[in-house]
Structure 1
Amino acid sequence: MTATADAEAAANELTPLADYLGSVLRRLRALPPLDLDLTQAHGNVLAEDVVAPHAFPAFDQAAVDGYAARWEDISGGGRGPSYVPAPSGTPGGRSIRLNVVGDLGAASWRPVRLTPGSCFSVAAGAPLPVAADVVVPVEWTDQGMAAVEIFRTPKRGYGVRRAGEELPVGTLLARAGTYVSPALVAVFAATGIGHVVVRPSPRVVIVATGDELVDVGRGSQPGQVVDANSHALTAAAAEVGALAYRVGICDDDPEGLRGLLEDQTLRADLIITTGGTGTGPGDMVRRILSRREGGRAGPVTFTDVALYPGTALGFGTVGAEEVPVVCLPGDPGAALIGFEVLARPAIQLLAGAEPVFRPSVRAHLLETVSSPTGLREFRPAHVAERRGGGYTVQPLSGGPFTLSGLAEANGLLVLGERVTTAAAGSTVDVLLLDRRR
């Protein structure tokens, strides 16, 4: 057998990434819904459709500061206004004078009615007088108090917001699965909603494993590796919207690991471990969590997936509550890629968010790249919009294992299992990363 044939045979024994993700995500369910006060709902995902119980605006109101009037009085069709010479430079050469019979502010509540030849001085947000169908902006007048001269005539309906013109009663404001943004909070509040039913933010616990790990604040030495993973994965989980808790470092001690995971099930909706997923002598997580006991398979199944980097991934449940656990590789680059393709969709699904995967685009590749046979590769890249439409993608140096590349990337170039070389100028898939910059 040639080396190429050996590589293809080994790749054929791996589980395709799409199949693996499907099997994992089908085992997860969105968290039970909660009824939350509107001030606490931001950042969560709606568990049910939300319909407007009241109209917005709730009443006819002025949209600008000015004078509420009858359009026929200022357009020349009414009998009430008087015409006076306009200041030089005024279009039409004349202005219209109306009597100002009162002032209305946003807190005014008594209903009032216009009579021919009269108007009310109004502030933006003030209720409109009955029969008013136009608001003349202050700057189009002489700003008179007892009487006002109007130098320009707006169109009928200018400066007026009618009750329910934006959101009538019964309007579907948002569907289940929608992220509650600050603007959506404003919409809910404006239509009289004080509580909404949402999926809670998943509580995610992150554990780094390995005897070699030491905490941050020092440099790595032979036999010691600074724990970058638990810090990075905690940040990644928080970026998705989870309530992320970093437990820290757990040594490769079977009883210690089991006890730690059991304790964390009391406060976790998902547990993420990093390290020990391979088949080497020091890979204790796979050895411990996949061990058969009493004739039954271990709580976590480890699968060699056609993924580059980081083929070895684990998924299962732990504890009496059967809390889901995702096991990611120990290499920092592989751990972050594993989070993107497996842990992040799992968090999104628990949160009830749709879609669970990152958005993707097709992009014009600027540089020829090669990819391992039979593996779906996710490579850090920089995506840019092309003038005239479309996207370009530039792979970043160092490949998928480089932390500096991942830190700089705003996208992940995706090369399929059958792609060994992607030529410059070809069109490729790219996942878009939201770095909130």
Structure 2
Amino acid sequence: MTATADAEAAANELTPLADYLGSVLRRLRALPPLDLDLTQAYGNVLAEDVVAPHAYPAFDQAAVDGYAARWEDISGGSRGPGYVPAPSGIPGGRSIRLNVVGDLGAASWRPVRLTPGSCFSVAAGAPLPVGADVVVPVEWTDQGMAAVEIFRAPKRGYGVRRAGEELPAGTLLARAGTYVSPALVAVFAATGIGHVVVRPSPRVVIVATGDELVDVGRGSQPGQVVDTNSHALTAAAAEAGALAYRVGICDDDPEALRGLLEDQTLRADLIITTGGTGTGPGDMVRRILSRREGGRAGPVTFSEVALYPGTALGFGTVGAEEVPVVCLPGEPGAALIGFEVLARPAIQLLAGAEPVFRPSVRAHLLETVSSPVGLREFRPAHVAERRGGGYTVQPLAGGPFTLSGLAEANGLLVLGERVTTAAAGSTVDVLLLDRRR
């Protein structure tokens, strides 16, 4: 049997990534909804549709600073004592003089009415006088106080915002599953909404395991490895919208690990561990959480998944509350890829977000790459838009295990299980990462 045939045979024993993800995500449910004050709703996902209880604007109002008037009074005035040539806008080149009978600000509340030949000085946001159908901008006038000379006539309706013009009462403002953005908070507030029902942000606890781990602030030495994963995955969980808590390092001690996980179930909606998912003698997480007791299977099932990097993944529940736990490999590159593939969709599902997966595009590959047979590879890459439409993707040096490549990437090039070589010029799938660059 050739090396290629051996690799294909081994790959056939792995669980396809799509099947594995489906089996995991089907076991998760969105967190129960909460009624939150509007000031706390940002960053959450709506649990139900939101309808405007009131119109916006709530009343007829001025959209600009100027003079609220009747359009028929300024559209065809006659020559009078204050006549001056007008640059544009008034038929016959005439200016118009109107009596200013009052001032209206945003805090004005008494209803007032225009009479022919009069106007009100108004500030943007002020309620319009009854009968007003135009606001003449200040800069189109002589800015008079008792009387105003208008040199240019705007179109009827200029500078006016009518009640309900933007959002009538009863408008569907957002559907369930919508992410609450700052702009959406503004829309809710403007239409009189003070509370919304949302899915809470999942509380995610991150634990790094291994006797070899030491905390950051020092360099690695033989027998010691700086704990990269718990810091990186805490940041990744926060980026995904979770309330992320870094517990830190747990040694490969069975009782310590069991006790730590049991304690964390009290404050977690999801627990993520890194390290110990393989089958080697030091892979304590797998040995402890998959151990059969009393004839029953362990709380976590570990699977060999057709994923590169990091084939060994675990999923199950721990504690009396049956809190979901995701077990990722200890190698930092594999842990970050595993988070993108498995943990991030789990967080999105718990949060009630749709879709749970990152957006993807089809892109023109700029460089020939090879990929392990039988594995779905996720490789750091830089994706860019092409002039005229479409995308290009450049694989980054070092492959999926390089942290520098992951830090630079704005996408993940995806090569399917059947792909061993992708030629330059071919079209490939790319996951788009949330990177501001």
The interval holding the TM-score normalised by the smaller chain is over 0.9
Contact 2:77 2:94 in 1 (8 A): no
The aligned residue for residue 401 of structure 2 is 401
Provide the C-alpha distance between the structure 1 equivalents of 2:47 and 2:290, rounded to a whole number of angstroms. 35
CA displacement at 1:80 relative to structure 2 = 11
3-state SS of paired residue (2:102): strand
Structure 1 residue 400 displacement after superposition? 0.2
Whether the aligned pair in 2 keeps the contact of 1:84 and 1:97 (CA below 8 Å) is no
The worse-fitting range, judged by mean Cα deviation, of 145-154 and 187-196 is 145-154
Q: Deviations over 1:382-403 (max 9, x none)?
A: 0111111111110000000000
> Residue in 2 aligned with 1:432?
432
Q: CA deviation at 1:435?
A: 2.0
Q: 1:151 to 1:233 in 2, by over 3 A?
A: same
1:229 and 1:332 in contact (8 A); partners too: yes
Cα distance 1:396–1:137, how it changes in 2: closer, same or farther (>3 A)? same
CA contact (8 A) 1:410 1:432 kept: yes
Q: Is the 8 A contact 1:81 1:117 kept in 2?
A: no
Task: Report the alpha carbon displacement of residue 436 of structure 1 after superposing the two structures with TM.
Answer: 3.5
Aligned partner of residue 85 in structure 1, secondary structure: coil
Residue 256 of structure 1, CA deviation = 1.0
Aligned-pair CA distance for 1:381: 0.4
Partners of 2:75 and 2:90 within 8 A in 1: no
How far apart in 2 are the matches of 1:172 and 1:394? 42
| CA contact 2:205–2:271 (8 Å) conserved in 1 | yes
Q: 1:79 to 1:116 in 2, by over 3 A?
A: farther
Indicate yes or no: 2:298 matched with 1:332.
no
Alpha-carbon offset, residue 146 of structure 1: 1.0
Note the alpha carbon deviations across 1:363-421, whole angstroms, 9 max, x for none: 11110101110110000000111111111110000000000000000000001111111
Q: Per the alignment, do residues 287 and 78 of structure 1 end up closer, same or farther by CA in structure 2, a change over 3 Å counting?
A: farther
For residues 164 and 93 of structure 2, the distance between their equivalents in structure 1, rounded to whole angstroms, comes to 38
Asked if 1:6 is matched to 2:6, the reply is yes
Listed one character per residue, the Cα deviations across residues 325-348 of structure 1 (whole Å, up to 9, x for unaligned) are 000000000000000000000001
- C-alpha change, 1:85 and 1:217, in structure 2 (3 Å) is closer
**Offset at 1:311?**
0.4
Following TM superposition, by how much is the alpha carbon of 1:86 offset from its aligned partner in structure 2, in angstroms? 3.9
Contact 2:79/2:95, CA 8 A, preserved across alignment = no
State the Cα deviation string for residues 97-125 of structure 1 (Å, max 9, x = none).
Answer: 11111110000001011111111110000
Unaligned runs of at least 5 residues, structure 1: none
Alpha carbons of structure 1 residues 119 and 332: separation in structure 2 relative to 1, 3 Å: same
- Contact between 1:52 and 1:170, CA under 8 Å: does it hold in 2? yes
1:121-179 CA-partner distances (Å, limit 9, x unpaired): 10000000111111110111111111111111111111000000100001011111111
Is the alpha carbon distance of 1:28 and 1:265 closer, same or farther for their aligned partners in structure 2, counting shifts above 3 Å?
Answer: same
Residues 1:175 and 1:80: Cα distance change in structure 2 (over 3 Å):
farther
Counterparts of residues 7-22 of structure 1 (less than 5 Å): 7-22=7-22
Q: Distance in 2 between matches of 1:203 and 1:402?
A: 29
Q: Distance in 2 between matches of 1:432 and 1:61?
A: 43
Cα contact 1:60–1:161 (8 A) shared by 2: yes
Q: Which runs of 5+ in 2 are unaligned?
A: none
Paired with 1:232 and 1:291, the residues of 2 have a C-alpha distance of 29
8 A contact 2:61–2:162 mirrored in 1? yes
RMSD: 1.8
User: Relative to structure 2, which stretch is displaced further, 79-88 or 413-422?
Assistant: 79-88
| Residues in 2 aligned to 1:90 and 1:132: alpha-carbon distance in whole angstroms | 18
**Following TM superposition, by how much is the alpha carbon of 1:93 offset from its aligned partner in structure 2, in angstroms?**
2.8
CA distance 1:103–1:366, change in 2 (3 Å): same
Between stretches 85-94 and 106-115, larger displacement belongs to 85-94
2:74, 2:90 within 8 Å by CA — same for their partners in 1?
A: no
Shift of the 147–282 alpha-carbon distance from structure 1 to 2, 3 Å rule, reads: same
- 1:92: how far off? 4.9
The alpha-carbon distance between structure 1 residues 269 and 103, as it changes in their structure 2 partners (threshold 3 A), is same
Q: CA deviation at 1:84?
A: 5.0
Q: Specify the alignment match of 1:353 in structure 2.
A: 353
Q: Aligned equivalents of 1:136 and 1:215: distance in 2?
A: 66
* 1:281 Cα deviation from its structure 2 partner: 1.1
> Following superposition of structure 1 onto structure 2, how do residues 203-222 of structure 1 map, counting pairs within 5 Å?
203-222=203-222
Bigger mean CA deviation after superposition, 27-36 or 88-97: 88-97
3-state secondary structure, aligned to 1:334: helix
Residue 79 (structure 1) shift: 12
- Matched-pair identity in %: 96
Normalised by the length of structure 2, the TM-score is: 0.97
After superposing the two structures, state which structure 1 stretch, 380-389 or 323-332, moved more: 380-389
| Alpha-carbon distance change, 414 to 88 in structure 1, aligned in 2, over 3 angstroms | closer
The answer (yes or no) to whether the contact 1:74–1:81 under 8 Å persists in 2 is no
Change in 2 beyond 3 A, CA 1:255/1:78: farther
1: CA distance, partners of 2:77 / 2:138: 22
Do the aligned partners of 2:333 and 2:400 also contact (CA within 8 Å) in 1?
Answer: yes
**2:296 is the counterpart of 1:296:** yes
Partner of 2:419: 419
Counterpart secondary structure, 1:79: coil
TM-superposed deviation, 1:87: 7.3
Q: For residues 404 and 141 of structure 2, what CA distance do their matches in structure 1 show?
A: 62
| Structure 1 residues 75 and 277: CA distance shift in structure 2, 3 A | same
Q: Secondary structure at the match of 2:400?
A: coil
Contact kept, 8 Å, 1:300 with 1:316, in 2: the verdict is yes
Alpha carbons 1:79, 1:116 under 8 Å: kept: no
Structure 1 residues 88 and 350: CA distance shift in structure 2, 3 A? closer
Deviation at 1:241, TM superposition (A): 1.2
Length-normalised TM-score, structure 1: 0.97
Greater CA drift, 357-366 or 326-335? 357-366
- C-alpha displacement at 1:255, in angstroms? 1.1
Does the C-alpha gap of structure 1 residues 303 and 81 become closer, same or farther in structure 2, counting only changes over 3 Å? farther
CA distance 1:87–1:271, shift in 2 (3 Å): closer
Distance 1:80 1:173, change over 3 A: farther
Structure 1 Cα separation of the partners of residues 101 and 431 of structure 2: 62
2:362 aligned counterpart, secondary structure: strand
CA 1:87/1:229 → structure 2, altered by over 3 Å: closer, same or farther?
A: closer
Q: Deviations over 1:224-254 (max 9, x none)?
A: 1111000100110011111111111111111
Q: Deviations over 1:15-66 (max 9, x none)?
A: 1111100100000001111111101111111111100000000000000001
User: What number of residue pairs does the alignment pair up?
Assistant: 437
Residues 89 and 153 in structure 2, CA contact (< 8 A), matched pair in contact too: no
**Is 1:343 aligned to 2:343, yes or no?**
yes
Question: Contact 1:333 / 1:401 at 8 angstroms: preserved in 2?
Answer: yes
Distance across 2 between alignment mates of 1:79 and 1:364? 69
Pick closer, same or farther for the CA change 1:433–1:84 going to 2, 3 Å: same
> CA 1:142–1:293 in structure 2 vs 1: closer, same or farther (change >3 Å)?
same
Task: Note the C-alpha offset of 1:82.
Answer: 8.1
Q: C-alpha displacement at 1:89, in angstroms?
A: 12
Cα distance in 2, alignment partners of residues 392 and 87 from structure 1: 53
Structure 2 Cα separation of the partners of residues 206 and 301 of structure 1: 19
